[in-house]
Structure 1
């Protein structure tokens, strides 16, 4: 009995679609976990206990893998001092600076959906700055997308800030953009790295750097304690399992399966999914203005979504170099 040829293909596509859906849910869950952990606990305490066990586990895993690769006939090149310093800088920006601002903003009362949307315009800012900083061609669609994306962010932020259910001070809405700019800086620092990407090694350096930074901040501020609240440890486990291993692991898996363009497109679904999480779990406000802002931001990202290896039409510019076609640095919220 033969199996219709369309069935395996359909199953493969369904499985890939399911992976994409799980990836979006896992990535957006990081903002939810941040709010769960920051309720009644100092942000520095949350970040210290999230990063310490994660960094320890990654150091152990990297050590085991390094020992195994040393037995090969062609072991990978050793990590140079300049490469180490570059990855420490990327980790300090993309994790330490970014996570501190996200957790701080959410702890102050900024909604999870608004924070995720401000994070979500990072690729638009990177695309707009690629011309002056990387010498890449920037199309008019990308500039238009940036303008519309910023308009969408302003609409959602205004709806959140003026809602009667919001208790965040006005200045708190200036905190998430600082974290987004940290991600932008980390992206350009990473794209200037001529060496081949090493996801596990780089993630280990980033997490170890952040563990040191957050432990130092907690010790300096008297926040280095062991919380007794069970909810805190549930939130910590949530943050380690779902957004870090689930989201980041699926991120690299999908990069191999569908490519960077599709994965970046999936990232644009994170803000609306996070908004739904926040409304369902925390009663965060969702108004017509919120929906309009999210729709405007999604339209903006669609306009700006051009193939990274295709020059803008009519420019006569050659494809961008390989270093600029790396996936953008993404937050592990």
Structure 2
């Protein structure tokens, strides 16, 4: 009798676990874009990202040294190269685009197209052939991005190169992801690799900040809130939740949750920063999600 009474409760909890974790993941993932938009009012992108990556790396360093396999020079060097592409170019690219006032939701939409870019690059680089459904899904997703992009051009004041920068940084990250496949030197625990990536980014963003005049953080409440937001929520909470969900649920299911972050980002930007939210943007977003769904099924 006791076992029968407990069983429905356990089933109910397991059913509630996925929507709860998915909602937290979407909020955490989208908060990275919103946090950069918020903190960029107080400091340049170089200063902002220097302190974000430095604080993240320093907090991770004791765990990276104490837990996990010993990090050899070759493995660290390989991770540094990936950190240049995945943190400095990718993160710096879309942060600079947000600073130039490319709509935050559009930046999130383009940045989250990395899996589609990886699928497209896998064929010429790795010889992994795509199905007709995957090519169709990719074309549909790109069409949706173009709809949102052309509509946002009517409202934004960002230069055209800032839009291209977002696409370029996303493609660099996808290329890095494809190139790292099969390289054993890049296979290490997440907390170790993320520590190396963030510290690599801190060095490069620090050089950029010094070239622009200095790295002193603005002593304002807004900048402090932005740093706490970016380090604790957008970096640690979001990544920890993401990798925990990968162990508990299918990869496609977790990826589908991440694709919900662009509409949430658009809503955040609309409510917090009064960024436009038009019917054309919503239409383009819906088209993109259909394309992503088709490609993910393939």
Q: TM-score range by the shorter chain?
A: over 0.9
Quick check: 1:231 aligned with 2:222? yes
Q: Give the CA deviation at 1:99.
A: 1.3
Q: Residues 3-44 of structure 1, C-alpha deviation per residue, up to 9 Å, x if partnerless?
A: 152321111120232011101110000000000111142111
Q: Give the CA deviation at 1:225.
A: 1.4
CA distance in 1, matches of 2:39, 2:283: 30
* Pick aligned residue for 1:91 from 83, 86, 90: 83
Which residue is equivalent to 2:136? Answer: 144
Q: Residues 181-207 of structure 1, C-alpha deviation per residue, up to 9 Å, x if partnerless?
A: 121122113223235442111111111
* Pick aligned residue for 1:262 from 243, 253, 258: 253
Structure-to-structure mapping, 1:56-67, within 5 angstroms: 56-65=58-67
* Pick aligned residue for 2:199 from 205, 208, 214: 208
Quick check: 1:184 aligned with 2:184? no
Q: What runs of 5+ residues in structure 1 fail to find an aligned partner?
A: 67-75, 308-333
Structure-to-structure mapping, 1:24-63, within 5 angstroms: 24-63=26-65
Aligned residue pair count: 295
Which residue is equivalent to 1:126? Answer: 118
* Pick aligned residue for 1:252 from 243, 260, 263: 243
TM (normalized to structure 2)? 0.94
Q: What runs of 5+ residues in structure 2 fail to find an aligned partner?
A: none
Query: Alignment RMSD, CA only?
Result: 1.6
Q: Residues 258-306 of structure 1, C-alpha deviation per residue, up to 9 Å, x if partnerless?
A: 0322221212111111111111111111111101100000000110013
Which residue is equivalent to 1:329? Answer: none
CA distance in 2, matches of 1:173, 1:237: 28
Deviates more, 1:27-36 or 1:277-286: 277-286
Q: Is the 8 A contact 1:37 1:231 kept in 2?
A: yes
- Relative to its length, the structure with more helix (as a share) is 2
Helix, strand or coil: the match of 2:294? helix
Which residue is equivalent to 2:274? Answer: 283
CA distance in 2, matches of 1:179, 1:214: 15
Deviates more, 1:276-285 or 1:217-226: 217-226
Helix, strand or coil: the match of 1:177? helix
Deviates more, 1:137-146 or 1:259-268: 259-268
CA distance in 2, matches of 1:119, 1:156: 14
- Which of the pair has the greater relative contact order for Cα pairs under 8 Å at 6+ separation? 2
Q: Is the 8 A contact 1:44 1:218 kept in 2?
A: yes
Q: Give the CA deviation at 1:137.
A: 2.6
Deviates more, 1:230-239 or 1:54-63: 54-63
* Pick aligned residue for 2:183 from 167, 175, 193: 193
CA distance in 2, matches of 1:127, 1:83: 26
Which residue is equivalent to 1:21? Answer: 23
Q: Is the 8 A contact 1:97 1:179 kept in 2?
A: yes
Q: Residues 113-140 of structure 1, C-alpha deviation per residue, up to 9 Å, x if partnerless?
A: 0000111221111112211212223111
Q: Is the 8 A contact 2:42 2:218 kept in 1?
A: no
